[in-house]
Amino acid sequence: MDPSQVQEDKANDVHSLEKGAAGATDDKSGAAETVTTETDDGKTKVTDTTGGTGAPDDKPKKESFIRKIWNRLNIYLMLFVLVVILAVGIVVIMTIKSKEQNLDTIKGQGLSTDALKQLANSDVTVGDARQVLTVQSNAIFAGSVLVKSNMEVAGTLKVGSGLDIPSLKVSGPSQLSDTTITNLTVSGTVNLQGALTLKNGISVAGNSNFSGNVTTGSLTTGSLALNGDLNLTNHVVAGGTIPSASRGTAVGGGGTINISGSDTSGSITINTGSNPPAGCFVSVTFSKRYSSTPHVNVTPVGSAAADLNYYINRTTTGFSICATNSAPAGENFGFDYIVLA
């Protein structure tokens, strides 16, 4: 035997190691080699190398740890998928309801810097009619601003120049400094805390009540009713149309008369002529008839009228001045009169 050559054991080369690992019998014992296989029903059977089949193993095969974990994961996975489906359904329902509610509300929209640049350079539309444009900073409009719908101002509204409003409705208290109004119609009560200055007169169709003093440079009224006393601190000037007067027979031949004043007060001048008889000197006719017979007060003027037994006749249309004795011829005298209804 050559020691330099590798020695081969041809008799035991193939199955020497496998037999020891597979549980085969030792060659020295002469026992047959056995092979273990698995049947379709999960049982095991033993077959020897000679072709014989041993009795099947009735013991069930034990499940692996990985298969147990997989079976449990299948149950949790199904539960997780079910929960995800329910969550998606709830989200879809809430989204639909939220969109329906947003149809009845106005959405808010901010104004970005880019949008402001677009507004400054061109005509653009920001948002829609159902959105609110919120400007956080101060805004200055160099041109005109047109509001096609209602405008609500939560704070104070200050106008530096003129304010042109075709129609103004104020529901609460208002403070106006200098206001020019062409036509003002007030359906309710007007309360003025300060003085009222009217440069073009005042026209009142109904009754007026003044609880305080009324100061006026000139007062023209068609009718004046006083429930209290009339206090006059200055002259009473009775103006009006001069009534007409006609000469009577008591002035004599060539005598004349002259009248000045109004229906309320005035003076009559008499120049007697020759041979004046007793009778009426003048007959006065009012410019406007009184509703009832007025009170006429006559006062003689001049010494020539001192010895006259004068008297008056009065009606709603006028009065006359007469005497029971004759006046001296060629004299100048007269009468002053005051008429009160």
Ranges of H-type helices in the chain? 16-22, 65-102, 113-121
Residue 58 has pLDDT above 60, yes or no: no
Rounded to whole angstroms, the maximal C-alpha distance in the chain is 215
Contact criterion met (CB below 8 Å) for 304 and 333: yes
pLDDT score for 164:
76
Contact criterion met (CB below 8 Å) for 251 and 257: yes
User: What residues does CATH 2.60.40 cover in the chain?
Assistant: 244-340
Give the tokens for residue 96.
Answer: 């639909």
Q: What is the mean pLDDT of residues 139-157?
A: 80
Q: What's the pTM value of the predicted model, to 2 decimals?
A: 0.43
pLDDT greater at residue 212 or residue 13: 212
Residues 308, 311: Cα–Cα separation, whole Å: 9
Fold (CATH) for 244-340: Immunoglobulin-like (2.60.40)
Q: What is the pLDDT of residues 262-304, one digit of tens each?
A: 999 999 999 999 999 999 999 999 999 999 999 999 999 999 9
pLDDT score for 14:
44
Across 69-78, b (16+ Cβ under 10 Å) vs e yields eeeeeeeeee
Handedness of CA 322, 326, 330, 334 (dihedral sign): negative
> Which of 76-85, 194-203, 283-292 bottoms out in mean pLDDT, i.e. has the lowest?
194-203
Cα 192 to chain centroid distance, Å, stands at: 23
- 112 pLDDT band, cuts 50/70/90, is confident
Residues 124, 116: Cα–Cα separation, whole Å: 10
Determine whether 86 is exposed, middle or buried from the number of CB atoms within 10 Å of its CB (0-12, 13-18, 19+).
Answer: exposed
Residues 240, 290: Cα–Cα separation, whole Å: 14
- 21 pLDDT band, cuts 50/70/90, is very low
